[in-house]
Amino acid sequence: MHLCRVIGTVWATRKVDTLHGYRMLVVQPLSHDLTEKGTPVVAVDTVSAAPGQLVYIVKSREAAKALDEPFNPVDATIVGIVDEVRTST
Amino acid sequence: MFIARVIGEVVSTIKHDALHGRKLLVIEKLTEGGDPTGDSQLAVDSVDAGEGDTVLVLDEGGSAGLVTELDNPPIRTVIVGVIDSVDIEG
């Protein structure tokens, strides 16, 4: 799983049937010190995250397993909201 | 699987049901020589690992389901062992 910051929202009216009802957010992957790492991705939201929040995502095949319909064309899903990251480095 | 060091933990209240009651740790991948690579991610703990431990990390969903004893969880990165030592020949 990867730490990310929510930086935006994606609106898509016309989409695959199984994606109807899901919100999609643009998230910027972060390193453990919260510096940006790589390019932003679009992730399905399952935790009602909001722009600016720190979240974590699961990627690849396991991303679809977070949804009610696991046979879904999804490769990134937000599965939690971060309260705090505790690191000593 | 790969070798990593636990460098912290994530506190999270709102999360997917499959993650409730599970410890989420911040891990940093290590080189075969044990040096940090700067590449960090989050992993579900299954062996009561803690900060500073060198750990064995699984990154595959099917096996993560076996370890967590859940059907099809949205989890693919799991700490499956605490490493005592690694010997590299040559």
Residues of A in contact with B22 (CB under 8 A): none
As for how many domains chain B has, the answer is 1
DSSP B31: -
Check whether A88 has a pLDDT greater than 70.
yes
Domain assignment present for B90: no
- Provide the domain limits for residue A77: 2-81
Determine how β-strand B36-45 pairs with β-strand B2-11.
unpaired
CATH of the domain at B19: 2.40.50.220
Domain assignment present for B88: no
Alpha helices in chain B, H assignment, sequence order: 61-68
Domain assignment present for A89: no
Nearest by CB to B8, which of A48, A63, A85? A85
Residues of A in contact with B9 (CB under 8 A): 85-86
Domain assignment present for A46: yes
CATH of the domain at A56: 2.40.50.220
CA A10/CA B10 separation, integer angstroms: 27
Domain assignment present for B24: yes
A19 touches chain B (CB under 8 A): no
Chain B residues with at least one Cβ partner in A under 8 Å = 7-16, 18-19, 24, 26, 28, 38, 40-44, 51, 61, 64, 72-77
As for how many domains chain A has, the answer is 1
> B5 with B36: CB under 8 angstroms?
yes
Check whether B9 has a pLDDT greater than 80.
yes
Residues A14-50: tens digit of each pLDDT: 998 888 989 999 999 999 999 999 999 999 999 999 9
Distances (CA, A) of A86 to A2, A32, A40, B26, B34: 15, 9, 24, 9, 22
Q: Write down the pLDDT at residue B15.
A: 96
Q: What single letter denotes the amino acid at residue B72? A: N
DSSP B18: G
User: How many Cβ contacts (< 8 angstroms) between chains A and B?
Assistant: 95
Residues for chain B: how many in total? 90
Tokens describing residue B71: 């059907």
